Each structure stands twice: as structure tokens, then as C-alpha cells.
């Protein structure tokens, strides 16, 4: 099945610091590409993979599950780690859950985590019926393009496949259970108004991770797909500052502290 134009994976070979960006459920690398290009323009090595079942038609996603999506980003992390001395992982929505799982499983191989409106739990009562109705109703209305910016648009499916939703709900439980294993520095950015993932998801993450270096930032002008919304530049700039701070040689950090004090 041919890819939707614009859904292609994005990769850039830059410096010794790598960033892996994971797109969301039923979305594509298109939602992450401006972010990836911003980091690439500043000398970083960047990978934005296309998750299995995405970027073609929603029926293809019915044949995949969380194990397939996670395996793809796991392979990308291993490949980046072989090329770069340090790797950071970022994710939007379900991509945030994938990033958290990578941090749980790979520990020191992940130098830091950047989450944008991460999803880690079910937010609606309707989801409780998915295990049953997925056998009779293959899909429901899509969730793509929750964007405040009038000119913004996300390349994603117009239908949400329920077999895939059922798999995602199982993955959420695994990720939540492993949150105390997350010790890496964390930058979490979430929208004050989000019609897809309730901000309480971010509160769950912040309340359960073991990270001690944690920065939370509220996005005031964006909805769910904030990487394509009014606050996109904030996300890009803050993530680059986060990566730069944690990638700086120890001596540089000491010098900066001395200069500031």
C-alpha cells in the first residue's frame, strides 16, 4: 500500500548527539518533521520513524499492535546509539508512551526524555467497551488534527481502528506500571486545552517517574497536536535547550555556573 504523501520517515545525519522522535497514534512523521528539521538545522542527528500500520490507510493499522510500534522505535534507538555517544527520545501522544517505554527498557542508553501531551491512560468511558465492540465495529471517527491554529493540519487517519485501540490500552498499562523505572532527565510539555488526551495524563507521568531533573511547561495556545500548533516554536526551542544542557561537557557547565554567579 503506497504511503500518504508527507508520511515518509525523516532522518538526518548530524553530530554526535542523536534525537529519536516518535509520532502519535494514527498519525505520521509529518506531525514531527518540523521539530526534527529544527533540531537537524542545529547540528543534531535526528530520526523520525514511521510506525507500522501508519501512513497508508486505517485498515492496515488493524493488523498491527503495540509490540509492532514499540519494536520500530526500539530498532531506531539501537541504530542511533551505535552512531551517537548520547541519544534523547521525544514523543507526541502515544509517541510519548513509546518514549517512556524506551527509557524504562534501555535506561542509561537514553540520555533524556521529551514528552508532548503524552498518553498513558484511557480518558473516556467508551474505551471500556472497546474489547467487546471491536469485534462488531471496526472503526470510529478519527482523532487527527486537534489543532488550534487555523492553518494547521495533521496527516493522519480519518478513522480510528478499534483493534489497534485495544492494543494501545494494554500498552498504557505496561507503561504506567514501569514509570517508577524512569530516572532520566525529563522535559514535559502539555497543552492546557487538549481534546484528545486529558492533561491528567501528564500529571500521572509526573507523579510516578523517579526522575529528579524534571521540567514541566504548559502550552497555553495549542491543542493536542502542539508540534504543529501555535506553541510549536516553544517546543522546538525548549527541547533544543534541554538537549544542549545535558550534552554540554561538565567543564562548560561549571564555567557557566561560575559566570552566572
What cell numbers appear for 63 in the block? 493488523
Long-range contacts of 213-216 (CB under 8 A, 24+ apart): 213/185, 213/186, 214/185, 214/186, 214/188, 215/186, 215/187, 215/188, 215/242, 216/188, 216/189, 216/190
Q: Which of 28, 31, 47, 93 is catalytic?
A: 93
Q: Which of 190, 224, 229, 239 is catalytic?
A: 224
Q: Which of 31, 47, 166, 194 is catalytic?
A: 194
Other residues' Cβ atoms within 10 Å of the Cβ of residue 76? 22
> Could you give the count of Cα atoms lying within 13 Å of 196 in the half-sphere of its Cβ?
28
Catalytic residue check, 195: no
DSSP letter (8 states) at residue 2: P
Nearest to 176 by CA among 205, 155, 135: 205
Catalytic residue check, 68: no
What cell numbers appear for 122 in the block? 484511557
> Could you give the count of Cα atoms lying within 13 Å of 250 in the half-sphere of its Cβ?
0
Catalytic residue check, 194: yes
Asked if 62 and 52 count as a contact pair (C-beta separation under 8 A), the reply is no
Name residue 189's beta-bridge partners: 116, 217
Q: Which residues are marked as active site?
A: 93, 194, 224
Amino acid at each position: 500500500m503506497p504511503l500518504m504523501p508527507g508520511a515518509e520517515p525523516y532522518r538526518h545525519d548530524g553530530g554526535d548527539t542523536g534525537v529519536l522522535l516518535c509520532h502519535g497514534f494514527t498519525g505520521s512523521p509529518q506531525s514531527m518533521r518540523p521539530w526534527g528539521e529544527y533540531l537537524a538545522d542545529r547540528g543534531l542527528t535526528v530520526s523520525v520513524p514511521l510506525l507500522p500500520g501508519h501512513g497508508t490507510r486505517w485498515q492496515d493499522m488493524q493488523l498491527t499492535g503495540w509490540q509492532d510500534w514499540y519494536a520500530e522505535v526500539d530498532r531506531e534507538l539501537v541504530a542511533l546509539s551505535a552512531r551517537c555517544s548520547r541519544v534523547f527520545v521525544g514523543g507526541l501522544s502515544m509517541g510519548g508512551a513509546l518514549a517512556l517505554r524506551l527509557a524504562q527498557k534501555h535506561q542509561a542508553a537514553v540520555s533524556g526524555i521529551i514528552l508532548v501531551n503524552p498518553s498513558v491512560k484511557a480518558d473516556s468511558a467508551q474505551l471500556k467497551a472497546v474489547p467487546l465492540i471491536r469485534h462488531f465495529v471496526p472503526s470510529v471517527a478519527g482523532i487527527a488534527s486537534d489543532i488550534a491554529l487555523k492553518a494547521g493540519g495533521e496527516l493522519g487517519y480519518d478513522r480510528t481502528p478499534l483493534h489497534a485501540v485495544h492494543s494501545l490500552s494494554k500498552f498504557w498499562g505496561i507503561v504506567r506500571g514501569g514509570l517508577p523505572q524512569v530516572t532520566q532527565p525529563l522535559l514535559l510539555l502539555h497543552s492546557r486545552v487538549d481534546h484528545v488526551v486529558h492533561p491528567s495524563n501528564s500529571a500521572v507521568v509526573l507523579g510516578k517517574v523517579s526522575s529528579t531533573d524534571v521540567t514541566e511547561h504548559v502550552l497555553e495556545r495549542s491543542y493536542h497536536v502542539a508540534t504543529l500548533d501555535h506553541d510549536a516554536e516553544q517546543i522546538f526551542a525548549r527541547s533544543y535547550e534541554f538537549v544542549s544542557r545535558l550534552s554540554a561537557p561538565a567543564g562548560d557547565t561549571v564555567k557557566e555556573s561560575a559566570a552566572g554567579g
